[in-house]
Amino acid sequence: MDKSEIIERLEAIAVLLELQGENPFKIRAYAQGARALEALEIPLDVLIAEDRLATVRGIGSALADKITALHESGELPLFDQLKAKVAPGLLEMLEIPGLGAKKVRILNKDLGIDSIAALQSAAESGSISNLKGFGVKSEAKILQGIRNREAYSARHLRWNVIPVVENILSGLRSLEAVQQAEAAGSFRRGLETVGDLDFIVASKDPEVVMDWFVKQSHVSEITARGQTKSSVRLEDGLQADLRVVPASQYAFALHHFTGSKEHNVALRKRALQRGLSLSEWGFDVRGGNSQPLPSNIDNESALFDALGLANIPPELREGYDELKLAEAGSLPKLIKCSDIKGAFHNHTNASDGHENLEDMAEGAAARGWEYIGIADHSKSSRQANGLNEERLLRQVDAIAAYNQRDDACCHIFSGCECDILPDGSLDLADSTLEKLDYVIIAVHSAFTQPREQMTRRILRAMEHPFVTMLAHPTGRLLLKREPYEVDMEAIIEKALAKNIAIEINANPKRLDMDWRWWLKAAKRGLKTSINPDAHRVEQLGYIAAGVLTARKGGLTANSVLNTQSLTEIISWLEQRES
């Protein structure tokens, strides 16, 4: 096991001990041991090889033996024994926000709760709020947590299913019987999460296609097998539907199953107003209408055209104002990945990234980018090894030196992801921020502040003259952590007034600020920067997820700072400074 795996294992042991009501000193020994490993300055292998592990503060000789065993074999009998003694339901309860090992222990000991189901009925009956250390508020929070957990488990991050979709599509397209194949549904619309996958195929021989689909190696269960539709459950629990239609219906089926439902409803209404009924099978006449039916609809563009509309990209089919825009010929020319010329929010191993400046610059150059911004964490983000003024200024010098080199492959901008402290002040001194090319500000602590306080805090930080961008403005983690409470309208207003960009954090778990806000904000002239927030070179690839979010938000290249060339960016930054 490597160091981070061992740290995780020690933390797990502390939790298991706590769940069993073990002696607090013993629990603390493991928790402290994990902290001590995190803070190690000498590599763990060296300490073990030189038999010096037990001399590290926070690690006694008994613990040193266990760490060594884990390092060498990954095995520790103590862990297996503890795990066997704890009911699995208790571990599941730990996934509910606000429930740590201590509270789960109390719930188990005092009320006999040992599963999520038992937890839910206890919370619903009000018996939890009577327990010491709990109240009406925490009881309500538990119920909300259980509901969120159910909703989350039914959906998947879009990013994570891309390889699954590509695999199925290339399999389908390689079949001789398949004329056309596409992934429809929320996946095609570029939604941040998907409930299930929907594939549409045009074929004269549905039997062969269905056969291939249900017999794929990753299928764990066939839930339906028919002439026109089959459904399977894949190994990771994800469901996939396949519909096979004749080529003449393909455009209609693809459009219908791409959705969204709201978009479909609006389009059908428009068809009806023109004396046509529209369904997944095609057009039909309605009432006394005797005009000829539109014919030769063999792609979606022709379908829209028959209804007097420009071709609406799938990303915009959410039932907002896309029909109106398509009618007026004023659909936005959506940004594309190839418009991107660099990226600002990235980390190196100076804070919690994994590679150095040069590696990141090379990674950016390999994507054909002209520049890369490095924005490591600031000192208050201790868990992320944030930089203090002195370390940051050293990085500024290193970046300046890199940019001077003849073999520099990409311009590096000096930035920082500076914490917004709970009171709205910034984590680093003005004299340091002044030396940077740009400053990204971000909330990384005190997430539970009430809405007014959180809003005031962020607005105050945005008043700061050196601020260039606001990072992940709601702090959400998709399918994991709800956004914190904040008045986004007020934040957008302030960003417009102060010429501050709000990022689209392109990490597939964040995609924050959300595209729904962009639909409104872009029209008002708000600028964004699509920021991979890469902690490794390969994560620069997250940019694709951010571009998709920008497309859903109706953004053109014009609204996105990092579609500008290096010279344009430099003059923009200079202009802001003055």
| CA gyration radius, the chain | 28
Q: Which is nearer to Ca ion, 238 or 491 (CB)?
A: 238
Other CB atoms within a 10 A radius of the CB of residue 21 amount to 14
Least separation, in Å, of the C-beta of 223 and Ca ion? 11
Phi-psi domain of 70 (left: phi exceeds 0; alpha: psi -120 through 50; beta: other): alpha
By CB under 5 A, name the one of 198, 355, 512, 533 that touches Ca ion: 198
Encoded one letter per residue, x for contact with ligand DGT by CB under 6 A and - for no contact, window 11-50 reads: ----------------------------------------
By CB under 6 A, name the one of 186, 231, 414, 562 that touches ligand DGT: 186
**d(C-alpha 83, C-alpha 71), whole Å:** 19
- 190 near ligand DGT, rule: CB under 6 A: no
- 198 near ligand DGT, rule: CB under 6 A: yes
Which of Ca ion, ligand DGT, none binds 260 (CB below 5-8 Å, type-dependent)? Answer: ligand DGT
Least separation, in Å, of the C-beta of 12 and ligand DGT? 33
What spatial distance separates the first Cα and last Cα of the chain, rounded to whole Å?
A: 53
The site that binds Ca ion (CB under 5 A) totals a number of residues, namely 5
DSSP class of residue 450? Answer: -
The 8 Å CB, 24+ separation contacts for 146-152 are 146/96, 146/116, 146/119, 146/120, 148/482, 149/95, 149/96, 149/116, 152/479, 152/480
Of 82, 93, 65, 75, the residue nearest 22 (C-alpha): 82
Closest residue to ligand DGT, Cβ-based? 259
**d(C-alpha 172, C-alpha 175), whole Å:** 5
Interface with Ca ion in residues 227-266 (CB under 5 A): 241
Q: Which is nearer to Ca ion, 194 or 462 (CB)?
A: 194
Which of ligand DGT, Ca ion, none binds 547 (CB below 5-8 Å, type-dependent)? Answer: none
Residues in contact with 162: Cβ distance below 8 Å, sequence separation at least 6, in sequence order: none
Q: Which is nearer to Ca ion, 196 or 437 (CB)?
A: 196
Q: Which is nearer to Ca ion, 256 or 464 (CB)?
A: 256
Least separation, in Å, of the C-beta of 286 and Ca ion? 28
By CB under 5 A, name the one of 145, 185, 190, 206 that touches Ca ion: 185
By CB under 6 A, name the one of 30, 159, 252, 257 that touches ligand DGT: 257
**d(C-alpha 219, C-alpha 214), whole Å:** 7
The site that binds ligand DGT (CB under 6 A) totals a number of residues, namely 13
Which of Ca ion, ligand DGT, none binds 529 (CB below 5-8 Å, type-dependent)? Answer: none
By CB under 6 A, which span of 30-38, 85-93, 189-197, 473-481 interacts with ligand DGT?
189-197
SS3 label, residue 90: helix
Is the N-terminal amide bond of 260 cis, ω within 30° of 0?
A: yes
Which of ligand DGT, Ca ion, none binds 300 (CB below 5-8 Å, type-dependent)? Answer: none
**d(C-alpha 200, C-alpha 188), whole Å:** 11
- Edge-to-edge strand ranges of the sheet holding 342-343: 342-343, 371-374, 411-414
By CB under 6 A, name the one of 260, 449, 556, 558 that touches ligand DGT: 260
Of 58, 14, 52, 7, the residue nearest 32 (C-alpha): 58
- 231 near ligand DGT, rule: CB under 6 A: no
**d(C-alpha 414, C-alpha 547), whole Å:** 23
Least separation, in Å, of the C-beta of 196 and ligand DGT? 5
SS3 label, residue 236: coil
Q: Which is nearer to ligand DGT, 259 or 313 (CB)?
A: 259
- 194 near ligand DGT, rule: CB under 6 A: yes
Q: Which two tokens stand for residue 424?
A: 């709205």
Judged by the rule CB under 6 A, the positions of this chain that interact with ligand DGT are 185-186, 194-196, 198, 256-257, 259-261, 264-265
Judged by the rule CB under 5 A, the positions of this chain that interact with Ca ion are 185-186, 196, 198, 241
